[in-house]
């Protein structure tokens, strides 16, 4: 039972730039519905590939999805500064939360090695990266100041350099003997054994760079922009991007496949877009910072705040909910949008239909005994992202998988209110 909140560029339309082996190349790239018990089966054929992830907020809330577990929360602490990052350990059995003042909160098997919480920083901390063995980590500030703890070695910083654009993240080399810093314009700064393979610093980007990932051998890297545009350098091959068709929730990470012959672009809501040999699978568990970018995001955050409340037949909140009571209350309170009260009417009339492979955060999903008959719908839930939902079912409001009951009763489309 989940009752507590857990701790915590598009370059030019469809253009992506690949720099391989030093050669520049442009690559175009009725009654309230009851929650009926079901038997677990295979995921619905058109449902998104489920991914495992934690979502964290600036307040220190963290929610776990899929195989990830709960390890603690900073939401009950008197935080002096907002949380800006959540970083899982390599085992997936813990994570660190880092605040903008460099305060570090360690949970599960994540070790605490130090922080800048008591230091007067020139610029706020914007990211954190663990060492390969997890026995240390680096913190990086927006001016490129680097702070090393545990077995993390200090190899240099841009703290004394006047940057055109702020640093937004860092990535260590595979052996941990160096790291790259990346700025929002895609400028790259290499330290230690990190090789410089190229950047987008001189390119006019439609959307800012938000992250990077090295190839497994460290001889190249990918940059990802907030619209899911991908830029490849060194031995990092370009396999595709979301740049020409960005999703409403911004991209937050690019994650290399084990071979380096593919990657996942991960949105802030846990949705993954696979390319190359990453197709058909999901990345290791990810820690994601979730912000209210769309009305659907606000709906999801309202629904998260109801987790653990009891399932009550006909419940409209705030004490408890039934399935359609939760969907309606979430959209009404968070986005000011109302629609029908019961599940079958919601499926028939709430907003616009949306294909299961195009679901957005906050969209409604439904189950019925006859996929061609809207009056057979008996259950509704709120889609979060990454193939995951929040629903009032069983005896309480909880987080689950969209495909948890198999494909038989999942209705062929969702609804976007």
Q: What is the mean pLDDT of residues 288-316?
A: 97
* pLDDT, position 11: 29
Task: Grade residue 32 by pLDDT with cuts at 50, 70 and 90.
Answer: very low
CA distance 115 to 48: 38
Exposed e or buried b for every residue in 344-379, given b needs 16+ CB within 10 A?
A: bbbbeebeeebebeebbbbbbbbbbeebeebebbbb
β-strands 23-28, 53-56 pairing:
unpaired
| E-assigned strand segments in 66-141 | 83-88, 94-99, 104-108, 125-130, 136-141
pLDDT digits (tens, 9 = 90+) for 242-255: 988 899 999 999 99
pLDDT digits (tens, 9 = 90+) for 130-155: 999 999 999 999 999 999 999 999 99
* pLDDT, position 22: 27
Contact 205, 160 (CB under 8 A): no
Task: Grade residue 9 by pLDDT with cuts at 50, 70 and 90.
Answer: very low
Q: Considering only CA atoms, which of 127, 90, 100, 94 is closest in space to residue 112?
A: 94
Task: Grade residue 26 by pLDDT with cuts at 50, 70 and 90.
Answer: very low
pLDDT digits (tens, 9 = 90+) for 54-77: 999 999 999 999 888 889 999 999
Report the mean per-residue pLDDT for the chain. 88
The answer for 102, left when phi > 0, alpha when psi is -120 to 50, beta otherwise, is: left
CA distance 247 to 108: 32
pLDDT digits (tens, 9 = 90+) for 316-347: 999 999 999 999 999 999 999 999 999 999 99
* pLDDT, position 47: 62
Q: What is the mean pLDDT of residues 184-202?
A: 96
All structural domains of the chain, each given as residue ranges with its CATH number in brackets, are 15-29+50-289 (2.130.10.10), 295-416 (3.90.1720.10)
pTM, 2 dp: 0.86
Contact 24, 238 (CB under 8 A): no
Task: Grade residue 46 by pLDDT with cuts at 50, 70 and 90.
Answer: low
Pair of tokens at residue 156: 């240099």
CA distance 355 to 74: 37
Lowest mean pLDDT among 35-49, 140-154, 181-195: 35-49
Task: Grade residue 2 by pLDDT with cuts at 50, 70 and 90.
Answer: very low
Task: Grade residue 202 by pLDDT with cuts at 50, 70 and 90.
Answer: confident
Q: What is the mean pLDDT of residues 166-185?
A: 97
């Amino acid at each position: 039972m989940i009752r507590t909140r857990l701790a915590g560029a598009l370059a030019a339309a469809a253009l992506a730039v690949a720099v391989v082996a030093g050669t520049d190349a442009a690559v175009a790239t009725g009654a309230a519905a009851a929650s009926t018990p079901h038997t677990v089966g295979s995921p619905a054929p058109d449902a998104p590939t489920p991914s495992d992830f934690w979502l964290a907020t600036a307040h220190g809330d963290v929610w776990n999805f899929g195989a990830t577990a709960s390890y603690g929360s900073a939401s009950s602490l008197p935080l002096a500064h907002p949380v800006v990052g959540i970083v899982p350990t390599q085992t997936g059995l813990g994570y660190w939360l880092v605040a903008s003042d460099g305060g570090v909160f360690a949970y599960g098997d994540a070790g605490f090695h130090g922080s800048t919480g008591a230091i007067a920083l020139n610029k706020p901390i914007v990211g954190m990266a663990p060492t390969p063995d997890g026995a240390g980590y680096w913190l990086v500030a927006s001016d490129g100041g680097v702070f090393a703890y545990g077995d993390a070695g200090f190899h240099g910083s841009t703290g004394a350099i006047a940057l055109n654009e702020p640093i937004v993240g860092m990535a260590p080399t595979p052996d941990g003997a160096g790291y790259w810093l990346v700025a929002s314009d895609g400028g790259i700064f290499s330290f230690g054994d990190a090789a410089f393979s190229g950047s987008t610093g001189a390119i006019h980007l439609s959307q800012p760079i938000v992250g990077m990932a090295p190839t497994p051998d460290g001889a190249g890297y990918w940059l990802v922009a907030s619209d899911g545009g991908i830029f490849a350098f060194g031995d990092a091959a370009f396999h595709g991007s979301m740049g020409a068709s960005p999703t409403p929730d911004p991209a937050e990470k690019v994650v290399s496949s084990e071979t380096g012959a593919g990657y996942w672009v991960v949105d802030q809501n846990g949705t993954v877009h696979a390319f190359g040999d990453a197709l058909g699978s999901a990345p290791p568990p990810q820690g994601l910072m979730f912000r209210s970018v769309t009305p659907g995001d606000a709906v999801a955050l309202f629904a998260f705040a109801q987790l653990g409340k009891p399932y009550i037949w006909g419940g409209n909140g705030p004490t408890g909910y039934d399935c359609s009571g939760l969907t309606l209350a979430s959209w009404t309170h968070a986005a000011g949008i109302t629609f029908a009260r019961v599940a079958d009417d919601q499926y028939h009339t709430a907003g616009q239909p949306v294909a299961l492979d195009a679901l957005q955060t906050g969209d409604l999903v439904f189950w019925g005994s006859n996929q061609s008959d809207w009056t057979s719908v008996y259950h509704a839930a709120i889609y979060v992202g990454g193939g995951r939902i929040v629903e009032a079912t069983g005896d309480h409001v909880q987080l689950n998988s969209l495909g948890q009951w198999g494909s038989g009763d999942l209705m062929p489309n969702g609804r976007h209110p």
